[in-house]
Amino acid sequence: MEKVKTKKPIICLITGPAGAGKTSVSKVLAEKFERSAVINVDYLRKLIVGGYIKPYPWNEKVKIQTSLEVKNACMLANNFLDAGFNVIIDHVIGQTLLKQYSEFFHDKSIKVFLLLPKLEILLKRFDQRGVNDGLRKRTPELHEKFTSLKDKPGWVVIDSSNQTVEETTDFIFNELNK
């Protein structure tokens, strides 16, 4: 497959609850471009060793840590953008962090996609992976939160319940190239 060269670097943020397919879609999407980078914010979070805290439940320490994650992701994204790379950011965000991303990239065009498959699909994905940890237990709560936010402006919502990774990626790719 021929890789696409863009006229101007693209910033794409992919969000959704755990198990939605953010990481898989981000990687496949990045492979469609001649020059691209994926910033998985989970990796940035794990750079913190001393004083690391899980991103839930939400409190003031979590707010500081997640704000730092966004800031670092944006700075890293800018480095890639300056070098002519398209950037795909993989991060679980709500409206507060979306606002932070939007403010940081106020002079650039950022497109945000919310992957929101049905809850039973998410739980089935965890079961198929053999994952039964705290994140799986939090999935209903996260899904409910994203469902309540899905009609908020700022992102394109994709119900990827019955889509393959390639179908979801193709949809996003076409939206980015409009």
- The domain tally of the chain equals 1
Cβ neighbours of 59 (radius 10 Å): 10
**Bridge partners for 36 per DSSP:** 86
State residue 56's pLDDT score.
Answer: 78
Residue 127 lies in a domain: yes
Please tell me the distance from the alpha carbon of residue 48 to that of residue 69, in angstroms, as a whole number. Answer: 10
Residue 125 lies in a domain: yes
> pLDDT by residue (tens digit) across 36-55?
999 999 999 989 899 888 88
Burial (CB count within 10 angstroms: exposed 0-12, middle 13-18, buried 19+), residue 35: middle
State residue 68's pLDDT score.
Answer: 94
Residue 65 lies in a domain: yes
Residue 2 lies in a domain: no
State residue 19's pLDDT score.
Answer: 87
Domain of 84 in residue numbering reads as 11-176
Residue 4 lies in a domain: no
Residue 97 lies in a domain: yes
Whichever domain contains 86, its CATH number is 3.40.50.300
Please tell me the distance from the alpha carbon of residue 165 to that of residue 163, in angstroms, as a whole number. Answer: 6
Residue 7 pLDDT exceeds 90: no
The dihedrals phi and psi of 12, each to the nearest 5 degrees, come to: -130, 130
Residue 5 lies in a domain: no
- Of 88, 97, 100, residue with least CA distance to 11: 88
**Bridge partners for 12 per DSSP:** 88, 111
State residue 23's pLDDT score.
Answer: 95
State residue 132's pLDDT score.
Answer: 61
Residue 156 pLDDT exceeds 90: yes
State residue 157's pLDDT score.
Answer: 96
> pLDDT by residue (tens digit) across 22-33?
999 999 999 999
Q: Mean pLDDT across the chain, nearest whole number? A: 91
Residue 6 lies in a domain: no
